């Protein structure tokens, strides 16, 4: 990711996403149809259910059905959530084909064969009932979160430093940079917490291992080995677009005032590519928001408040970057 931002005309309005329906407003009485259009993150849901065919009839909202596959997870902001799919939804039909009593593989094959548009007939259940559906030995799962889109980000951990908290306790933080710009400093335990949170958010992704814990004080050589291991972990995980852009990762890479490792917030220079191809350099706070940066740029180039409404900042991503 390049530190250069692009300032360009804004000729599209943001689309309004439909608000999430409150729990009490959902209709639990019968089946409903949802149409999902695959996005850059896939269909955005996981399905889980029995691996064998047939089975005893079961009551769902007062009606009897053969065993149904169910939605075990819905990606926040993904295509399925926008279409109205909820965790716990039982899948009755896939692309107009009835899948009562079908095996997990059969349902997966139906979903895969439908192309980029998926039509599901689902039966919603209460949140309490959805949380009750835990994996068992006779069930299997399949993810519709797309991990295939990869990119190389210039993320690195070039060094670490010894710091002390307000009580005088000393510890080590690892400095994380993106394209040469310092993003944040994190302790080893914060990397461990990130790993746990990511595995919870993306349970079917095969995450790389992090450097192991060590109960004793580490030598400088051991600390540098840990630094390299954490750097390789971030490089591999952030290479997957849907993970790199997740709220969990973005929160980890953003250091805010008041955090345990936050020292004085420093100023940084940022280069802005203007529409006329000239480059403008502005000095901003390292934790400035996009709106604050835009206001600084607008004032520096002399845009009036009215004219500024027709421009915006866009981040330039270099997909050809090759990390070394």
Does 14 have pLDDT greater than 60?
no
Higher-scoring residue by pLDDT: 87, 320: 87
User: What average pLDDT does this structure show over 202-224?
Assistant: 88
User: What average pLDDT does this structure show over 74-86?
Assistant: 91
Higher-scoring residue by pLDDT: 298, 136: 298
10 Å CB burial of residue 78 (0-12, 13-18, 19+) is buried
The rounded distance, in Å, linking the Cα atoms of 142 and 215 is 38
Extract the tokens encoding 163: 């710091």
User: Residue 278: CB partners within 8 Å, gap ≥ 6?
Assistant: none
User: What average pLDDT does this structure show over 17-23?
Assistant: 44
User: What average pLDDT does this structure show over 85-103?
Assistant: 92
Q: Determine the straight-line distance between the first and last CA of the chain, rounded to whole angstroms.
A: 14
Pairing of strands 267-273, 5-9: parallel
User: What average pLDDT does this structure show over 299-309?
Assistant: 89
**E strands in the chain:** 5-9, 32-37, 42-50, 58-60, 63-65, 70-74, 90-94, 97-98, 117-123, 139-145, 155-164, 170-178, 181-186, 267-273, 279-285, 311-315
pLDDT at 234: 95
User: What average pLDDT does this structure show over 59-66?
Assistant: 85
For residue 77, the Cα-to-chain-centroid distance in whole angstroms is 9
Does 27 have pLDDT greater than 60?
no
Higher-scoring residue by pLDDT: 15, 80: 80
The rounded distance, in Å, linking the Cα atoms of 309 and 124 is 43
pLDDT tens for residues 96-135?
Answer: 999 999 888 888 889 888 889 999 999 998 877 776 654 4
The rounded distance, in Å, linking the Cα atoms of 53 and 167 is 62
pLDDT at 211: 92
User: Residue 252: CB partners within 8 Å, gap ≥ 6?
Assistant: 184, 186, 190, 194
Residue 321 pLDDT level (bands cut at 50, 70, 90): very low
pTM over 0.85: no
Residue 19 pLDDT level (bands cut at 50, 70, 90): very low
User: Residue 313: CB partners within 8 Å, gap ≥ 6?
Assistant: 5, 6, 7, 272, 290, 293, 294, 297
User: What average pLDDT does this structure show over 260-276?
Assistant: 68
Q: Helix (H, G, I), strand (E, B), or coil: what is residue 17? A: coil
CB–CB of 252/186 below 8 Å?
yes
Nearest to 159 by CA among 180, 139, 173: 173
Does 261 have pLDDT greater than 80?
no
Q: Taking all residues of the chain, what is their mean pLDDT, rounded to a whole number? A: 80
pLDDT at 179: 81
């Amino acid at each position: 990711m390049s530190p250069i931002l692009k300032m360009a005309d804004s000729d599209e309005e943001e689309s309004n996403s439909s608000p999430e329906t409150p729990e009490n407003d959902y209709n639990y009485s019968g089946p409903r149809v949802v149409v999902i259009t695959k996005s850059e993150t896939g269909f955005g849901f996981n399905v889980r259910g029995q691996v064998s065919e047939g089975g005893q009839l079961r009551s769902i909202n007062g009606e009897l059905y053969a065993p149904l596959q169910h939605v075990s997870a819905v990606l926040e902001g993904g295509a399925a959530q926008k279409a109205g799919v909820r965790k716990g939804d039982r899948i009755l039909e896939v692309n107009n084909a009835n899948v009562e009593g079908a095996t997990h593989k059969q349902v997966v094959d139906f979903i895969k064969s439908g192309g980029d548009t998926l039509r599901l007939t689902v039966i919603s259940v209460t949140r309490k009932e959805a949380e009750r559906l835990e994996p068992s030995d006779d069930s299997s799962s399949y993810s519709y979160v797309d991990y295939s889109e990869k990119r190389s980000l210039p993320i690195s951990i070039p060094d670490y430093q010894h710091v002390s908290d307000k009580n005088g306790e000393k510890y080590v933080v690892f400095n994380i940079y993106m394209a040469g710009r310092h993003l944040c400093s994190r302790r080893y335990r914060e990397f461990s917490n990130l790993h746990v949170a990511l595995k919870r958010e993306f349970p079917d992704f095969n995450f790389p291992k992090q450097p192991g814990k060590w109960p004793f004080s580490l030598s400088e050589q051991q600390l540098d080995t840990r630094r390299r291991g954490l750097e390789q972990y971030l490089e591999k995980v952030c290479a997957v677009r849907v993970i790199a852009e997740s709220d969990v990762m973005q929160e980890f890479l953003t250091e805010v005032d008041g955090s345990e490792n936050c020292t004085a917030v420093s100023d940084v220079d940022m280069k802005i590519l203007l529409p006329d191809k000239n480059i403008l350099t502005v000095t901003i706070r390292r934790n400035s928001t996009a709106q604050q940066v835009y206001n600084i740029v607008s004032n520096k180039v002399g845009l009036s408040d009215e004219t500024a409404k027709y421009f915006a900042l866009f981040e330039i991503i270099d997909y050809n970057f090759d990390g070394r």
